[in-house]
Structure 1
Amino acid sequence: MSQVKIQSEKSASNDRIRQIFSAAPLRITIIVIALVWTIPTVGLLITSFRNPDDIQTSGWWTVFQHPFELSQYTIRNYQQVILADGMGEAFLNSLLVTIPAVVIPITIAAFAAYAFAWLEFPGRSFFFVVVVGLMVVPLQMALIPLLSLYVDINELIGIKLNGEFLGVWLAHTGFGLPLAIFLLFGYMSTLPAEIMESAYVDGASPLTIFIRLVLPLSVPVIAS
């Protein structure tokens, strides 16, 4: 009996070894591709901290000859970029546009995707098809009508959107919502129905289920 057990363990060990060696070419290929993509980025990062004279006379990899010699590093390049005319303000404007333009559509899309995936209401399928269909509308087609709408809003109610952050945020939200809703819907609709049903039985409201169950389970797709 013990000999049979030893032989089965040896056979299992041999199978694992064969699996490791059979997968080795694929893993090596993936590692090589990752290095090919990563090394240039690392080189750019190191170069950004080097003196201009050193950049022109030697490659970025030479810093590894004396990696702890701090005299070969400098932040002067970043100081010049940030303190240059308009660059600091432009960088701040980029943050003020990018962060809300990402957070606002994802927040709205999460609620909408949950509604399309798990709530029953009249016209659910129709409205979802309309939302998905908006993805094929070219952004260039909607740009001029959108700017005209901003002008009309300013004339009617006095809210200026042209040339303002709010106008940019609204534009990004409108253009990004269809794709965001489609992606989040595809993930949320695959969540286990048993969890939702158990929450309903326990008396949880749709909003409670969304906040306490759906959102935590959807963190991977929201973060991506």
Structure 2
Amino acid sequence: MTTAASYFKIGPARLFVHFCVLVIVIIWLVPTLGIFVSALRDKDQITVSGWWTAFAGSTQTVAARLGTPDQAKQEGDIYVITGNVLADQPGRSVKAFGVRVQQPSAFEAGQTADLGEGESLLINSDGSYRYMKNAAFAPDERPRRIYLAASAPPEFTLANYKTVLTSEGIGQSFINSLTVTIPATIIPILIAAFAAYALSWMEFPGRALLIALVVGLIVVPLQMSLIPLLRLYNEIGSLINQPSKTYPGIWLAHTAFGMPLAIYLLRAYISGLPKEIIESARVDGASDFEIFTRIVLPLSFPALASFAIFQFLWVWNDLLVAMVFLGTDKDHLVLTGALNALLGSRGGNWEILTASAFVTIIIPLLVFFSLQRYLVRGLLAGSVKGG
């Protein structure tokens, strides 16, 4: 049986699932590829053509002027000005030309255009031209303006990234985002891991109520608590004579917002660990702290990694909480805030915006691909067996 035949034997339902997954992958991959390619193109290329034409070159309308009257030479009964309109633009070629901005492609390259009143113009694809006139050119005559439909070869540049990482202050915002995201990911994981172990393997009054409370807090919108929490921070800051908008403040805010989901996921995994391992450790005289640090924590790495992905991506892409608890000054502005300001001040500079956007997704992609093998295991934890 051939490989193709054995593959189609799996059934139409599974084939449909594979097809849907492929469509989803393409839907997510195409915009990412577009951002990456656009970030490597200059402003002129982005303006006149889409990113999917980047590898085939582009056609742009270019304005140019012919030579001055003092360059004219008499050839028999006509006066001719010669030159090259692409002398300062190597690599380009002329596809068509015109003498009016409304019709930049009125004449094909290599075609002699009759301009009327005894004037004619020939422009070749390499940019060389012959501007001919039956009468002599007036000394004060302005050089004639023409318009070219010029093809440009594929060009890629890192200048956009250089501009983003230096001139626009994105570099400092990048560091600020790391300063916010790393502690805001580690702190809730550590606290939630202890809480999840206690809710899974320790008996105490009110445990079921606490579990129900954790599940209920997952569905509470964080927008409801932003202003009350900020007021609390302001009051505490005034008591200790410290500003409220600091890094520890936003670390605690993200910790509070991420704790319910963290406890829920970790408890589902930890409660599914074999009961015999925990009981054997207790028989050997191990304390709860030793059981947690030496047995439970190493075995729970898939769940820890899956939540780390969620928390890191959420904090890294967050704008609202960062603006509320850190503000918008340049010393504390996170990457999403800087990109938002860039969008407001540079409405048409798409090459800068795409470079900025791709810079923001590099770190999340690295985190996801380094931990993604643990994601499914962590999410499915406790789906069959619970503690």
Same fold (TM over 0.5): yes
Query: 1:109 maps to what in 2?
Result: 192
Q: Against the structure 1 CA distance between its residues 174 and 64, is the aligned structure 2 distance closer, same or farther, given a 3 Å change threshold? A: same
Distance 1:33 1:75 in 2: 30
State whether structure 2 residue 301 is matched by structure 1 residue 219.
yes
Distance 1:208 1:64 in 2: 59
**Which one of 51, 65, 86 corresponds to residue 60 of structure 1?**
51
Query: 2:118 maps to what in 1?
Result: none
Q: Against the structure 1 CA distance between its residues 86 and 200, is the aligned structure 2 distance closer, same or farther, given a 3 Å change threshold? A: same
Distance 2:17 2:218 in 1: 36
**Which one of 27, 31, 34 corresponds to residue 40 of structure 1?**
31
Structure (1 or 2) with the greater helix fraction: 1
Query: 1:206 maps to what in 2?
Result: 288
Cα distance, 1:34 vs. partner? Answer: 1.6
Structure (1 or 2) with the greater strand fraction: 2
Query: 1:99 maps to what in 2?
Result: 182
Query: Which sections of structure 2, spanning at least 5 residues, go unmatched?
Result: 58-153, 307-387
Cα distance, 1:165 vs. partner? Answer: 0.8
Distance 2:180 2:46 in 1: 33
Q: Against the structure 1 CA distance between its residues 34 and 155, is the aligned structure 2 distance closer, same or farther, given a 3 Å change threshold? A: closer
Q: Summarize deviations over 1:162-211 as a string: whole Å, max 9, x none.
A: 11111111111112211211122122212221222222233333223222
Cα distance, 1:120 vs. partner? Answer: 1.9
**Which one of 244, 247, 252 corresponds to residue 165 of structure 1?**
247
Q: How does 1:10-89 map to 2 (within 5 A)?
A: 19-20=9-10, 22=12, 23-62=14-53, 72-89=155-172
Q: Against the structure 1 CA distance between its residues 152 and 17, is the aligned structure 2 distance closer, same or farther, given a 3 Å change threshold? A: closer
State whether structure 2 residue 235 is matched by structure 1 residue 119.
no
Q: Against the structure 1 CA distance between its residues 150 and 40, is the aligned structure 2 distance closer, same or farther, given a 3 Å change threshold? A: closer
Q: Against the structure 1 CA distance between its residues 51 and 175, is the aligned structure 2 distance closer, same or farther, given a 3 Å change threshold? A: same
Distance 2:174 2:256 in 1: 24
Q: Summarize deviations over 1:47-81 as a string: whole Å, max 9, x none.
A: 21233333334443445569xxxx83322111111
Distance 1:145 1:59 in 2: 46
The letter of the residue matching 2:9 is: Q
Q: Summarize deviations over 1:124-175 as a string: whole Å, max 9, x none.
A: 22333333333344433322332222233233333x2511111111111112
Distance 1:73 1:38 in 2: 20
What is the count of residue pairs matched by the alignment?
207
The letter of the residue matching 1:121 is: F
The letter of the residue matching 2:205 is: P
Distance 1:115 1:136 in 2: 22
The letter of the residue matching 1:115 is: A
Q: Against the structure 1 CA distance between its residues 26 and 214, is the aligned structure 2 distance closer, same or farther, given a 3 Å change threshold? A: same
Query: 1:7 maps to what in 2?
Result: none
Q: Secondary structure at the match of 2:37?
A: helix
Query: 1:3 maps to what in 2?
Result: none
Distance 1:196 1:124 in 2: 19
Distance 2:35 2:168 in 1: 24
The letter of the residue matching 1:24 is: L
Q: Confirm or deny: 8 A CA contact 1:110 1:184 kept in the other structure.
A: yes
Q: Against the structure 1 CA distance between its residues 63 and 145, is the aligned structure 2 distance closer, same or farther, given a 3 Å change threshold? A: closer
Query: 1:155 maps to what in 2?
Result: 238
Q: Against the structure 1 CA distance between its residues 196 and 123, is the aligned structure 2 distance closer, same or farther, given a 3 Å change threshold? A: same
Distance 1:17 1:47 in 2: 38
State whether structure 2 residue 172 is matched by structure 1 residue 181.
no
Cα distance, 1:16 vs. partner? Answer: 5.5
Cα distance, 1:19 vs. partner? Answer: 3.4
Distance 2:35 2:216 in 1: 41
Distance 1:17 1:165 in 2: 54
Distance 1:19 1:209 in 2: 48
